[in-house]
Amino acid sequence: MKNNSVDERFGGRNDGVAGFIKSNKVTVAVYIVTILLYVVTLFVSPSFRNWHHLMLVLVLASFLIVVSYGQGIVILVRGLDLSVGSMITLSGVLVAAWVSQSNENILWAIPLVLLITTFIGMLNGIGATLLRIPPFVMTLSTGIIVFSVVLGFTEGSPHKGNAPRFLNGMMLDHTAGIPNIVYFLILFIFVAVIVQSYSAFGRKLYALGANPKAAHISGLRNNLLTISAFGISGFCCGLVGMMLVGYTDAPTLTMGDPYVMSSIAAVVVGGSSILGGKGNYLGTVGGVLLLTILSTLITAIGLAEGWRTIIQGAIIVMALIMSSVSERNTKIASAQKNISKSVPETQKV
Binding site for another protein (CB under 8 A): 80, 82, 85, 127, 131-134, 136-138, 140-145, 147-149, 151-152, 155-156, 254, 257, 260-261, 264-265, 268, 273-275, 304-314, 316-317, 320-321, 324, 328
In the complex with another protein, the residue whose CB is nearer, 78 or 204, is 78
Q: What is the DSSP letter of 270?
A: T
In the complex with another protein, the residue whose CB is nearer, 133 or 172, is 133
Whole-number Å distance between alpha carbons of 154 and 93: 8
Whole-number Å distance between alpha carbons of 349 and 344: 9
User: What is the identity of the amino acid at 10?
Assistant: F
In the complex with another protein, the residue whose CB is nearer, 57 or 253, is 253
- Which burial class, exposed, middle or buried, applies to 54 when counting CB atoms under 10 A from its CB (0-12, 13-18, 19+)? middle
Name which of 177, 139, 216, 200 is nearest 55 in CA terms: 177
Whole-number Å distance between alpha carbons of 133 and 123: 12
Name which of 116, 122, 93, 140 is nearest 256 in CA terms: 93
Whole-number Å distance between alpha carbons of 79 and 212: 12
The nearest distance, CB 179 to another protein, in angstroms, is 29
In the complex with another protein, the residue whose CB is nearer, 130 or 333, is 130
The nearest distance, CB 253 to another protein, in angstroms, is 11
The nearest distance, CB 249 to another protein, in angstroms, is 23
The nearest distance, CB 17 to another protein, in angstroms, is 31
The nearest distance, CB 137 to another protein, in angstroms, is 5
User: What is the identity of the amino acid at 169?
Assistant: G
In the complex with another protein, the residue whose CB is nearer, 304 or 343, is 304
Q: What is the DSSP letter of 178?
A: E
Other beta carbons within 10 angstroms of residue 156's beta carbon come to 9
Whole-number Å distance between alpha carbons of 207 and 185: 27
In the complex with another protein, the residue whose CB is nearer, 67 or 140, is 140
The nearest distance, CB 322 to another protein, in angstroms, is 11
Whole-number Å distance between alpha carbons of 108 and 99: 9
The nearest distance, CB 140 to another protein, in angstroms, is 6
The nearest distance, CB 314 to another protein, in angstroms, is 6
Whole-number Å distance between alpha carbons of 73 and 139: 15
In the complex with another protein, the residue whose CB is nearer, 305 or 345, is 305
In the complex with another protein, the residue whose CB is nearer, 58 or 291, is 291
The nearest distance, CB 145 to another protein, in angstroms, is 4
Please report the DSSP string for 44-99 in residue order.
H-GGG-SHHHHHHHHHHHHHHHHHHHHHHHHHHTT-----HHHHHHHHHHHHHHHT
Whole-number Å distance between alpha carbons of 181 and 172: 8
In the complex with another protein, the residue whose CB is nearer, 7 or 257, is 257
Residues in the chain: 349
